[in-house]
Structure 1
Amino acid sequence: MNRNWLRALVRHLALLVAACLLVGLATQHIGWSLAAGLGLYLAWTLNQLLRLHRWLQGHAPGEPPPEARGLWGDVFDSIYLIQRRDQRARERLQAVIDRVQESTAALRDGVIMLDSDGNLQWWNHAAEALLGLKSPLDGGQPITNLVRNPRFFEYFHGGNYTDPLEMPSPIHDRLRMQVMVTRYGNNEHLVIVRDVTRLYQLEQMRKDFVANVSHELRTPLTVITGYLETLLDNSEGINPRWLRALQQMQTQGSRMQTLLNDLLLLAKLEATDYPSDNQPVALGPLLKAIRNDALALSGARAHSIIVEAEPGLHLKGSEPELRSAFSNLVFNAVKYTPDNGRIVIRAWQDDHGAHLSVNDSGLGIDAQHIPRLTERFYRVDSSRNADTGGTGLGLAIVKHVLLRHRAQLAITSVPGHGSTFTCHFAAVQIATPAPAS
């Protein structure tokens, strides 16, 4: 097309110059004739430019361009065709956007679009119902100013959106929401808010049932074990056949008491999000005390247990809860490490926070089992768990304690080469101990 226009322009100029030369030869004023012809052509060209400019500036949608002949007619028609094509493309795109917005607005889940700074750009009706957003007043506002929940603020600005966040709705405490954040485009955010009140209520019913049953079983089990201890304390006149049965009953009763204690501890941990006794906990003395308990548990198995704790490292939290979690990890390492094995307990801090790891030279765990290790009652080998007297709740307790202390559990293991359990604490959990008076 450009070559055709160039040829047409050259042809028009050649005809104009030829006509001017003929007129100049006839009038004996060739120079004036060329100047006049080119001036007229320039004036006509400027006029066409002005007409094109006025049409581009003030034409209504769909209004055709002004009439023109020759080269300028082709220019007007080409621009008009390009505009029509772009308009049709915009209409198709707008139709797609309208359909997406209509379908998104009809979703029961809340959908919120945020810019790279976390400011509200668009949201549907479900988001208004779940979060109390008001359109269009809240447009352009930071979402953390409207959803004033400390856990959401920490979750959104933390940048780790691997797992969703559950929290109560800001407009009604009885509503429970699940929030998922996804990055897209130029570091923008797509927030999905789902009403999980029904699932939350079912989960609470399950927790209440387990806690109530545990409480109800505790009293009769205490009575049974108490009578068994009394009978065993006076076992001189008991038939040896009955003595063995009583000893087995006492062993199983102790296992049941351990199971009930673990269930009650889990119910207590799930009752609140944060520990009430949030105080600086010195890791060095705590880990040394756990090491002494682990050596007593090891006994004649002669495990080598080493503690490498960074001096002066303190964590914010509950010392009994942290002791319970770390003890579970260390005692598991003792139970599943062969005799004369080596266990290393390390505690350190870096720019990412504080870390505690328990490394053993035990049997190791297959990769297929690692994602489910923190589930309640999940057992890699039921026979092995029965031999060690485990309840299948130890790592579940560890997981809940770490969640309450803004930490995560990472597990790496190679069968035959041992395992490493690492607790990663956020930097905000590192405490500065108060100076001694």
Structure 2
Amino acid sequence: MSRLWRRELWRLAALVAVGALVGWPFALIGTGVAVGLGLYLFYQLRQLHALQEWLTHHPHDEPPAASGLWGELFDRLYRYQKGQRITQRRLRDTLRRIQESSEAMRDSVVMLDRHGDMEWWNSAAERMLGLQPAHDRGQHITNLLRDPRFVDYFHARAYSEPLTLSSPIDDNMILQFQITLYGDDERLLMARDITRLHRLEQMRRDFVANVSHELRTPLTVLTGYLETYGDMAELLPDRLSRGIGQMQSQTRRMQNLVNDLLLLSRLENDRGGLDDVRLDPASLLEAVRRDAEALSAGQHHIEVEIAEPRGLRGSEKELHSAVSNLAFNAVRYAGEGSHIVLRWRPWKGGACLEVEDDGEGIDPLHIPRLTERFYRVDKGRSTATGGTGLGLAIVKHVLLRHDARLEIDSRLGEGATFRCLFPVERLIATNDEIASTSNAARQSGSA
């Protein structure tokens, strides 16, 4: 470009010089220079007009013919436009393929801008969510999905887990919503129809609940007769006496399994909250400690530590069951002579019910599956200790009903810690704190 600029400057200088020479014989050197500059300006304006006409009316045609600096400018603009058209064509083709593939999906796909307004969606979203292109484009997603649970899910920006709700246009259709962040804080909303899976899961729950309930009557009959025969053991042959003892043991194990299945079924199907009361965690842990010591029969050292003064709001029966399961697991699997601590302490704004032992520990490989039903780290040992394989599943569901979660920390040979983490909304101030707050309010009002 420097060579072209020098040529352009030489052209300007030549026009000025010619104008000056033409005007010199007539003593009009200034007029001649002005004429030369005018001709140069006219040439530049003509090229600008040609550029404007080309870009405005014929941008896809060949550029106007020109030489020098203007010719180079026209050529560069033409090559840039050509490259941009190729890039745009590729982007349009890519976007078209993405839209076609999205249209072929059975799941709903909705693209949201950074404000949450709907920009584009596929036909499945129209069927599942009732979106209408003529009215809903540009609307905020919460204007369509007004369920408070979805609104909270959308604004929480914690999208690691999906949300299950009914379709806004059909209560019988169950949808699983998942939001993904991308680009400039934009969102991709996907909704999957899980009605069939939901019905199958409900059928499974009903089947387990019904079978467990129906098993209680025959087990009760068997238990009654076995107790009667057990009282007459001295009158029976030794082989028959041993058989009755084994049958009693297995019947008790079956009863425990049925009771746990029924409890799990109730936890899954009931929404809870009706039996929420103010609990004293210290009293709760002390009651669990006594039960655990009875199970331990002096083989473990069990103690309670209280470091959180606030109380807890929840179901006493359910929380007692959850903490008991954790404590009994520690007694069964930590090993003889282990030290077990039942602890209530603060935890990141909320509070934590904690069961810690210094026993054999658990391989971290098993931790993600510990809350699955009937999952056992050591099947032989679990059977020998009388476990049903449902204890941690019960703990998980109890905590879900209390807005809490279970956290497990363990290493082989380093013991295990099971934490029940409760949010601050589940905590209740002590009487001293309530009195202090009331006094502060009264003093503020008097001031």
Q: TM-score, with normalisation over the residues of structure 1?
A: 0.90
Deviation track 1:108-162 (CA, whole Å, cap 9, x = no partner) reads 0011222334332322221222223332423333323422334333333333322
Gaps of at least 5 residues in structure 2 are 436-447
Q: Is the 8 A contact 2:362 2:410 kept in 1?
A: yes
Summarize the alignment of residues 30-429 of structure 1 with structure 2, pairs less than 5 Å apart.
Answer: 30-53=29-52, 56=55, 58-59=56-57, 62=60, 68=66, 70-315=68-313, 317-429=314-426
Question: Is the Cα–Cα contact under 8 Å of residues 8 and 68 in structure 2 kept in the other structure?
Answer: no
- Counterparts of 2:50 and 2:105, CA distance in 1: 51
Maintained 8 Å contact 1:164/1:179 = yes
Alpha carbons of 1:101 and 1:357: their partners in 2 closer, same or farther (altered >3 Å)? same
d(CA) in 2 for partners of 1:295 and 1:141?
Answer: 61
Letter in 1 for 2:419: T
Moved more, 105-114 or 306-315: 306-315
Per the alignment, do residues 232 and 118 of structure 1 end up closer, same or farther by CA in structure 2, a change over 3 Å counting? same
Name the CA distance, whole Å, in 1 between partners of 2:197 and 2:399: 23
Where 1:203 maps in the other structure, the secondary structure is helix
Please say which of residues 99-108 and 385-394 is displaced more in the overlay: 99-108
1:339 to 1:74, Cα distance in 2 relative to 1, 3 A? closer
Contact 1:121 1:140 in 2 (8 A): yes
Matches of 1:248 and 1:14 in 2, distance apart?
117
Q: Tell me, in whole angstroms, the C-alpha distance in 2 between the residues paired with 1:283 and 1:127.
A: 48
Distance in 2, Cα, partners of 1:90 & 1:429 = 55
Q: Which amino acid aligns with 2:151?
A: F
Amino acid at match of 1:141: Q
Residue pair 2:349, 2:424 contacting (<8 A) in 1 also: yes
Note the aligned Cα RMSD (angstroms): 2.6
Kindly provide the amino acid, as one letter, of the partner of residue 102 in structure 2: T
Q: 1:154 to 1:430 in 2, by over 3 A?
A: farther
Cα 1:77–1:37, aligned 2, differ >3 Å: closer, same or farther?
same
Q: In structure 2, how many angstroms separate the alpha carbons of the residues matched to 1:274 and 1:113?
A: 36
- Deviations along 1:374-400, one digit per CA (max 9) or x if unpaired, are 111111101210221101010111112
Shift of 1:189: 1.8
Quick check: 1:288–1:307 contact (8 Å CA) kept in 2? no
Cα distance in 2 between the residues matched to 1:401 and 1:158: 23
Aligned pair count? Answer: 433
SS in 2 for 1:301: coil
The 1:50/1:431 distance shift into structure 2, 3 A limit, reads: farther
Which one-letter code corresponds to 1:34 in the other structure?
V
Structure 1 contact 282–314 (Cα < 8 Å) conserved: yes
Cα distance 1:182–1:218, how it changes in 2: closer, same or farther (>3 A)? Answer: same
Structure-2-length-normalised TM-score: 0.88
What amino acid sits opposite 1:90 in the alignment? Q
Which residue of structure 1 lines up, in the alignment, with residue 444 of structure 2? Answer: none
Q: Supply the AA of the counterpart residue of 1:118.
A: G
Say if 1:248 and 1:402 are closer, same or farther in 2 by CA, change over 3 A.
Answer: same
Amino acid at match of 1:339: E
Report the CA distance shift for 1:114/1:98 in structure 2 as closer, same or farther (over 3 A): same
Does the C-alpha gap of structure 1 residues 314 and 201 become closer, same or farther in structure 2, counting only changes over 3 Å?
Answer: same
Q: Does the 8 Å contact 2:300/2:340 carry over to 1? A: no
Task: Return 369-378 or 147-156, whichever deviates more.
Answer: 147-156
Worse overlay, 279-288 or 321-330: 279-288
What is the distance in 1 between the residues matched to 2:354 and 2:140? Answer: 38
Q: Which amino acid aligns with 2:315?
A: S
**SS of the residue aligned with 2:153?**
helix
Structure 1's 137 and 209: CA in aligned 2 closer, same or farther, altered over 3 A? same
Moved more, 202-211 or 20-29: 20-29
Distance apart, 1:352 and its partner CA: 4.7
Task: Within 5 Å, give how 1:1-40 maps onto structure 2.
Answer: 2-40=1-39
State the percentage of identical aligned residues. Answer: 52
Contact 1:269–1:401 (8 Å) recurs in 2 = yes
Query: In structure 2, do the counterparts of structure 1 residues 191 and 385 end up closer, same or farther at CA, with 3 Å as the change threshold?
Result: same
